[in-house]
Amino acid sequence: MTQYNALNALCINNTDLNTLMKNKLFSLLIAAIILLSCDNSNKIRSFEPGEIWPDNNGIHINAHGGGILFHKGKYYWFGEHKTEGNTGNVANVGVHCYSSKDLYNWQDEGIALAVMPEGSGSPIEKGCILERPKVIYNKKNNNYVMWFHLEPKGGGYTGALSGVAVSDNITGPYAFLRAARPNAGHWPLNASEQMKSGAIPSEGKYYGGGSLPAHPDSLNLVARDFGGGQMARDMTLFVDDDQKAYHIYSSEDNSTLHIALLNDDYTDHTGIYTRQFLGRFMEAPAMFKKDSKYYLMMSGCTGWAPNQARSAVADDILGEWTELGDPCIGDNDKKTFHSQSTFILPVQGRKNQYIYMGDRWTPKNAIDGRYIWLPLEFEGDKFFIRQHNEWSLK
């Protein structure tokens, strides 16, 4: 009898223990749901162009003049890390990287490419000008390649160099390879025989980047820069369906856009390039492809001040290109909704969904620059952009 009572008591205690454990598990489940609910309440579910955009740490995203690479289910946003004050437009930190699965909520992945210490003598020494970084994935080498516009410290905008860095890890760190002017010793595919022969003299003069005393052909700026390489400032990258990669940059004192084929490693130029929009002073190029056609969005040259946007279309990436005019609808000030283009992002898994990415620069306090993201609309071979105070993906 005593043995039975002890056994019975043990069974009752086990039952109580199981009940307690179940209640505890239930309580933990409820707590987890509450935590998730609280977490979800802080999630961003829409774009608000021009507003502060906090990352996962609650800090305004610091990736200006940037671009996005979609890779293995995630978006990676690379851009210029700006600092406080009116000296913040020089590179004091480097290129910042963020990641996201939904494009609304971004996780800080740290500095992908850090500038070198002062006194190092590196082309990317702290205090240089490092602008418009873009990263592409190279399938052949299974690595990541970053290009950017670079002006060595203390030289203002006279260098007009292109910098390149590589990494085996998408978020970095990226190893700086070199900086140079593109396509030294190569004529563009659409250069005239007069240019090549020297029948059009080149004076060897450099200009301010916003205007020229004559058409760039009559000044023969290509011949001027033939030996040392072509000037390259505002830029973007584009990888086509055949995995060929292109470097698109403002050249010839910003007067003319060059579209240049990169090598198979994406780390150098091939010497194959064309000149487009001669004398039109196109900056801030952003390229995308839709229905086998290539599109560009660009700005004019007005420094940090916004101006009227431009757009163009082509059947071949190397040209010829046809201008389509200002794509911004309802932009009464003709200032691209007070922004400047930096990238056009195709949204993965959503047919014909593209996002215009623009910067609203604040040069007096560069770190406060805002992002203007807006959806593209299409009609025939043209694309359009409308202002939205708040919007979400379809």
- Residue with tokens 């390879």, as numbered in its chain: 177
Q: What are the residue boundaries of the structural domains of the chain, listed by start?
A: 62-180, 188-279, 282-394
pLDDT score recorded for residue 87: 73
| Cβ contact 229:247 at 8 Å | no
Q: Which of 215, 224, 240 is nearest to 181 (CA)?
A: 224
Q: How far is CA 333 from CA 225, 240, 248, 311, 326, in A?
A: 37, 35, 28, 17, 12
Spatial neighbors of 229 by CB under 8 A, at least 6 apart, are 180, 181, 182, 183, 184
pLDDT score recorded for residue 17: 43
- Residue with tokens 């930096």, as numbered in its chain: 342
pLDDT score recorded for residue 163: 98
Alpha helices (runs of H) in the chain, residue ranges in sequence order: 2-41, 193-197, 216-219, 221-224
Q: Which of 185, 82, 167, 197 is nearest to 130 (CA)?
A: 82
| Cβ contact 100:136 at 8 Å | no
- For 153-182, the pLDDT digits (tens) are 999 999 999 999 999 999 999 999 999 999
Answer CATH for 282-394 from 3.40.50.1390, 3.40.50.10420, 2.115.10.20, 2.70.98.70? 2.115.10.20
Phi-psi region of 266 (alpha: psi -120 to 50; beta: other; left: phi over 0): left
Strand order in the sheet with 322-323: 283-290, 293-299, 310-314, 322-323
Spatial neighbors of 241 by CB under 8 A, at least 6 apart, are 289
Cα–Cα dist 231/228, whole Å: 9
Q: What is the CATH number of domain 62-180?
A: 2.115.10.20
pLDDT score recorded for residue 288: 98
Cα–Cα dist 122/131, whole Å: 16
pLDDT score recorded for residue 73: 96
Q: How far is CA 32 from CA 21, 23, 36, 50, in A?
A: 16, 14, 6, 35
Mean pLDDT of the chain: 91
Query: Which tokens in the block code for residue 268?
Result: 């150098």
Residue 364 DSSP label: G
Cα–Cα dist 153/23, whole Å: 65
Is residue 96 within a helix (H) or strand (E), and if so which, with residue range?
strand 94-100
Q: Which of 208, 203, 164 is nearest to 182 (CA)?
A: 164
- What is the SS3 assignment for 389? coil
| Cβ contact 69:170 at 8 Å | yes
pLDDT score recorded for residue 25: 56
Two domains, one topology: 62-180 and 282-394: yes
**Sign of dihedral through CA atoms 56, 57, 58, 64?**
negative
Q: Which of 73, 56, 42 is nearest to 107 (CA)?
A: 56
Cα–Cα dist 134/310, whole Å: 21
Cα–Cα dist 295/234, whole Å: 17
- For 334-383, the pLDDT digits (tens) are 999 999 999 999 999 998 999 999 999 999 999 999 999 999 999 999 99
**Sign of dihedral through CA atoms 12, 14, 18, 21?**
positive
By CB neighbour count within 10 A (0-12 exposed, 13-18 middle, 19+ buried), where does 320 fall? exposed
Query: Which tokens in the block code for residue 345?
Result: 């992002």
- What is the SS3 assignment for 125? strand
Single pTM value for the model: 0.90
Residues of the chain short of pLDDT 70, as ranges, are 1-41
Q: What is the CA radius of gyration of the chain?
A: 26
